[in-house]
Structure 1
Amino acid sequence: MSAITKLDFSDRTVEEAARELVRAERINGAVYINLPMLYPDGSFVTVRVDKGAYGFRVSDAGFAYREVEDIAGARSFRRIANRVAEANDVVVGERILYVGTGIENLERAICDVAATAWTIVHSVAEKAFDEDELGLSDELSTRLKRVFGDERVEDGVELVGASTTSWPVTALVKTDGAQVVFQAVSENANSINRASTAFRDLSTLGHRAPKLVAYVRSKKALGSKLALLTPARIVEEAQPNEFLERAAA
């Protein structure tokens, strides 16, 4: 029998782990705080705290603006930011989010600015990636009808899995004696997780299970997340139509 490793669950270990979740660094008189919240690119949500004559100014230092600019262009920032920030009493500047506060509400201000910045960036990212999936879906449907014929391709179908959950899929192709599900999958985590869950549920239907195909822009771009699309076959956008035929065979 192998030895059982004793876990170190001391207060010191927990405190060290907690300190790693939030980091603060003083730069040119301001304090930058990294919080345990991630933007879509994997960077931490960061707030800046400046001391003033009448209290503190807590801002996101323009990081949310730069994230949005990279995802969807600068014009998207103000439109989304105004709606989100108003609910949290956060001020929207030209390229920055900020709050003025006294010492008694400093913690609340840090949380409000961080949460607002995170929500703005993720709202823009979700919309951008949803639009990307829709574009990929339209492209896939057009290709499938060209390859298999209009009469064999049904768009926007919902199939019931073994869990009795109804799953919307991009298209269902009916071949000789078989049904093949084609699902467009973008690089967005929600798109991948939704497809992954649907594939696993549909694959457990026994003899009624359809063949499963994921249509992606790039395997390389998905990286390790590609494994989540098992048990579906994968076809890349740049591959010729014969790959669609092979996947359905």
Structure 2
Amino acid sequence: MIAAFTVQRQPFKDAVESAAKDLVRVQEIGGSLYLNLPIIYPDGSFVTVKLDQSAGGITVSDAGFAYREAEDVGAHRSFRRTANKIAEDYGIIVGDRAVSTEATIDQIERAVADVAMASWRIATVITEKAMEEDESELSAELSSRLRSVFGVEKVVEGAKLTGFSTSEWPVSAIVTIDDHKTIFQAVTSHPNSIYKASTAFRDIAATQAKLSLVSFVRSKAALGPKLALLAPSRIVEESQSDEQIWKLAA
């Protein structure tokens, strides 16, 4: 009985061990060791820490990856301010473009965890704030266009709708024409903005099928393959005419 269980369990154990090796990888580059961890930055890449031997033991840093995330969203100037606040929770050092700490051999595990989590939090906080500011700016532009096209009385800004999951979803605006409602949502090229809109659209559509859904984007090209995630909404670019916006709500 025990032997039979061991035979059945072994493939399962082998699969788990194989997955663990894939989740955490070590690579040597230029004398430094880079450790990829199963933690995801906002852009979808894995959090990576860099380990170097030093006079005092081992230097563990994020190799500037959180800073690069901030650069990607044009918010690198806020890196140090944000990093200083978060680094206090982990007792690590903040440089101009990286966070790091010194450790002994026995402290490597803790040092890696502290630097990795701090780097992830820094990147996430900066990216989310930048995304919110960008989306807020695009929403303000959208609201102005809608008021101009349909008139103030037909536009409700910042409304919330309940989806099939009973979650409440804030939307940029609702336009009502002859009892027909159209939801307009400003969507930036940032993945979080796209995924949030995609989830909201599907949840709302599942319970309010008669609503029309429209994504307002700066550029379809900027969204790339992620554009398909905005189904079931129709998509309008900010450069398109007021007539096109009217047609989507008519």
TM-score bracket for this pair, using the shorter chain length: 0.7 to 0.9
Aligned to 2:161: 159
Aligned to 1:43: 45
| Paired residues of 2:217 and 2:237 also in contact (CA < 8 A) | yes
| Paired residues of 1:157 and 1:169 also in contact (CA < 8 A) | yes
SS at match of 1:72: coil
Moved more, 127-136 or 64-73: 64-73
Shift of 1:220: 2.6
Q: Identity over the aligned pairs, expressed in percent?
A: 52
SS at match of 1:61: coil
- CA displacement 1:48-86 (0-9 Å, x = unmatched): 112234321111222322332332343211100001111
- CA displacement 1:84-137 (0-9 Å, x = unmatched): 111111111222211111122211101111111111112111111111110110
Aligned to 1:240: 241
Q: Which amino acid aligns with 2:99?
A: L
Q: 1:66 to 1:162 in 2, by over 3 A?
A: closer
Q: Which amino acid aligns with 2:100?
A: Y
Q: 1:10 to 1:201 in 2, by over 3 A?
A: closer
TM-score (norm 2): 0.86
Moved more, 40-49 or 101-110: 40-49
Instruction: Output the CA distance in 1 between the equivalents of 2:62 and 2:85.
Output: 17
Coordinate RMSD, CA, aligned = 2.2
Shift of 1:229: 2.2
Shift of 1:164: 4.0
| Paired residues of 2:56 and 2:102 also in contact (CA < 8 A) | no
| Paired residues of 2:70 and 2:79 also in contact (CA < 8 A) | yes
Aligned to 1:213: 214
Q: Which stretches in structure 2 are left out of the alignment for 5+ residues? A: 1-9
Aligned counterparts, 1:44-193, within 5 A: 44-193=46-195
| Paired residues of 2:75 and 2:126 also in contact (CA < 8 A) | no
Q: 1:151 to 1:75 in 2, by over 3 A?
A: same
Aligned counterparts, 1:196-211, within 5 A: 196-205=198-207, 209-211=210-212
SS at match of 2:240: coil
Q: 1:55 to 1:86 in 2, by over 3 A?
A: same
Shift of 1:214: 1.4
Instruction: Output the CA distance in 1 between the equivalents of 2:232 and 2:80.
Output: 42
Q: Which stretches in structure 1 are left out of the alignment for 5+ residues? A: 1-7
TM-score (norm 1): 0.86
Q: Which amino acid aligns with 1:133?
A: E
Q: 1:47 to 1:133 in 2, by over 3 A?
A: same
| Paired residues of 1:65 and 1:95 also in contact (CA < 8 A) | yes
Establish whether residue 231 from structure 1 lines up as the match of residue 226 from structure 2: no
Aligned to 1:17: 19
Q: 1:113 to 1:163 in 2, by over 3 A?
A: closer
